[in-house]
Amino acid sequence: MDTTAPVTNTPIMTPEQFIEHLRGLPPQLPDFVLLPKSPEMANVRRIANLGTEIAQEGIGAIGASEVVQSAIGLTPEQMHAAEDEIARWAVAEGEAYTLYRGLADANLVRRHRLGLALMQAYNVSRQLVRQEEHAHLLPHVQRIFHVRKLARRRIKPAAAPQTQPPVTTQA
C-alpha cells in the first residue's frame, strides 16, 4: 500500500489552520444548521424526502390554482428555483463528504505509518534485549507484550439463558 502523499506546489495547511478555515465557513453558508439526532427529526426527514413525483405534482397544483398559490405564498418559478438550489447544494454536500472521507483516510494512513514504526521498534527491541548491553529495553518489551496480549483477548459473550418449551397437557 502506497502511503506517500502526492507532491504538489499547493501550500500545506496545519490541522489548526484547517480547523480555523472550517470554522469560518458556517456563517457564510445559507440556512446552515446542525439538527439533533432525535426521533422527532424523523418527520422532518420524511417530509424533506417526498420525492420528485410529489414535487412535480405539487408545483403543478400551485401553477394550476391561484388559490393554492396564494395559500402557499410561492409561485411555481420560486419552487423550481428552490429545487435547483437544493440540487446545487447536494453537489456541495457530496464534495464536503468526499473531503471528510479523504481527511479520515489520510488520518488512517498516518496511524498506519506510526503503527508500523511502533511495531518495528518493538521487534527490534525484542531482538536487542537478548544482548546484555540492551537489557534496559526489557521493561518496555514486556509492557508492550502484555498490552498487546490484553488487546487480543476477546470477551466471551454471556451464554444465552435457556428457556424451557411450554408444557402442553392433553386431556
Lowest-pLDDT choice from 40-44, 83-87, 145-149, 157-161: 157-161
Q: What single-letter amino acid sits at 109?
A: V
Q: What is the mean pLDDT of the segment spanning 36-41?
A: 89
Tell me the C-alpha distance between 1 and 13, whole Å.
Answer: 24
Q: Which range has the top average pLDDT, 86-95, 149-158, 159-168?
A: 86-95
Produce one character per residue of 121-156: b if its CB has 16 or more CB atoms within 10 Å, e if not.
Answer: eeeeeeeebeeeeeeebeeebeebeeeeeeeeeeee
What the block records as the C-alpha cell of 134 is: 540492551
- What's the whole-model pTM score? 0.69
